[in-house]
Structure formats: C-alpha cells, structure tokens
Amino acid sequence: MDLARRGARVIMACRDRKRAEAAIQEIIQETGNSQVIFMQLDLASLKSVRSFADKFLQSESRLDLLINNAGLMSGGKTEDGFGMIFGVNHLGHFLLTVLLLDRLKASGPSRVVTVASVAHEMGKVDFNLLTTQKELGIGNGDYQLFQRYCHSKLCNVLFTYELAKRLQGTEVTCYSLHPGAIKTEIGRYSGFWWKLIMTPIIFLFFVDADSGAQTTLHCALEEGIEHLSGHYFTQCAPLLNIKSKARDDAVAKKLWELSESFCGLS
C-alpha cells in the first residue's frame, strides 16, 4: 500500500490468486495507482520460483526493490521434500533472490530486503539435520514448529549477511529486519492450545500491519544506509550489538553453499 501510494509499480508475488486480487483491488482503490500486478509464486515449490523468475524477467525491465516477506509456521514438506518452514521461509527466498540478482544489478542502485524476526536469537542451524533430513528440526508440536521458525529466521539473517559480502562492488545492497510483533494470520494453522495461549497476547500487545511495515519500508526507502548493507534492523535502526551467531562467517558461507546445492545451482 505504501509503495503504491508513492507511485511505484508493485508486483505482488503471491500463492493464492483470489486473496491477492482482493488485496490488489483494495490497494488500487486506496491509492489510485493501477500499476499493482499479480504474479503467481509459491515458495514451497522451487519449480514455481523458477517459473515466476522467468516470467518476471521476460515482462519487467527493472527491479529496484525485492522484498522477501513470506513466512509461515506450519509442519509438513514442500513439493521438493524440504521441511515446509525451511523451504518457504529460507530456501524459496534464497532461490528467488539469486535468480533475480542480475536484474537487480542492472537496475542499481537497488535493494533486497528480507523480513526476519527477533526470533532468530533463539535459532540455530543444524547442518547434520539439514543434510540428512532437509529439515531444521524434528517433531510437529506447536513448540517444535516455533523452534523451527526461529531457526529459519536465523537463516534469513545469515543469508543477508553473506549476500552483502557477495554484492560488494555492485550497486545492490541488502538488509534483514525484525518487523515487530504484528497482528497477522501467520498462526492460522496452529493447534488449539497455541491459539488459546497466543490470542489474548496478540490482542493486547501486537501492533497492526501499518506499524509492522515501517522497518521494512525504512530498509527499502531510507537514503544513506547503503554502508549498512548486510545489517539487521529493528525499529527502523540497525542493531549493532547483534548476537555473534548471526555474524558467523563460516556458518553463513556453508548455509549459502548448501542452499545452492539444494536448489540445483551448484
């Protein structure tokens, strides 16, 4: 909504056409900007990611801003056999970004913004489990799924950290961020007890989507933050005392290389 209001051409890369088109109509009505376009993208399918990238590159001559914003906390497997949380929250975004990098470079100065979470502080990357199970954790209880969500958010932060290194010397910068605790439908598939505990907490303490979008918009639009490429932001400011595991060069590099392998890029 905010980007459309500023006159941007906005590509809504969404899984559910019906919900996407309803959102697009609302945005067009609210902003008067008709340059808001739906393109099919299911991050739980690497084939869909490739198809989206092909279609985008054929139809769009520029890419100034890529916002990796999808996130879920549900069990099961992706089309390619990865854990759903790892596959959608990290791997789909990874492949999407890599496939669009040349267009981002050609459009520079441009940015990649990846929505992570403060939950990354509770995350870890178990490479043995990833290599053998294609999964960040085991068990399908609500708490185990939440743990995997935390692990996936650490992957988002490490991905951004490594991406910034690989983009040095280009006009593409990248940022990860904590958007705040926001009232969204991320928990709509959660179990009964999780909903029972979380519903009153969400009602009392979580912010609306407008407030929750502000740090994303800051990373996307704020001038003069190019030297902070690779950093993690919270409340529209870089977090300078971030935990060392979010700045682990060896883990970030290994995660990148494993992701390339999983996506068939290496």
Residues 1 and 103 placed together within one structural domain of the fold: no
**Per-residue pLDDT at 33:** 98
Q: Which helix (H) or strand (E) holds 170?
A: none
Residues 8 and 54 placed together within one structural domain of the fold: no
**Per-residue pLDDT at 231:** 98
* Total number of domains constituting the chain: 2
Measured in degrees and rounded to the nearest 5, phi and psi for residue 189 equal -100, 10
**Per-residue pLDDT at 142:** 86
Residues 32 and 148 placed together within one structural domain of the fold: no
Residues 19 and 100 placed together within one structural domain of the fold: no
pLDDT tens-digit map of 148-178 = 999 999 999 999 999 999 999 999 999 999 9
CA distances from 65 to 107, 147, 157, 219 (A): 9, 30, 18, 10
Is 232 an annotated catalytic residue? no
Residues 25 and 123 placed together within one structural domain of the fold: no
**Per-residue pLDDT at 114:** 98
Give the HSE-up count for residue 197: Cα atoms under 13 Å, Cβ half-sphere: 7
The single residue of 143, 149, 189, 232 carrying the catalytic annotation is: 149
Domain that includes residue 176, residue range: 44-262
Residues 8 and 120 placed together within one structural domain of the fold: no
Residues 252 and 144 placed together within one structural domain of the fold: yes
Residues of the chain with pLDDT under 70: 181-208
Residues 50 and 20 placed together within one structural domain of the fold: no
Residues 147 and 244 placed together within one structural domain of the fold: yes
Residue 105's CATH number: 3.40.50.720
CA distances from 201 to 111, 116, 135, 194 (A): 34, 21, 29, 11
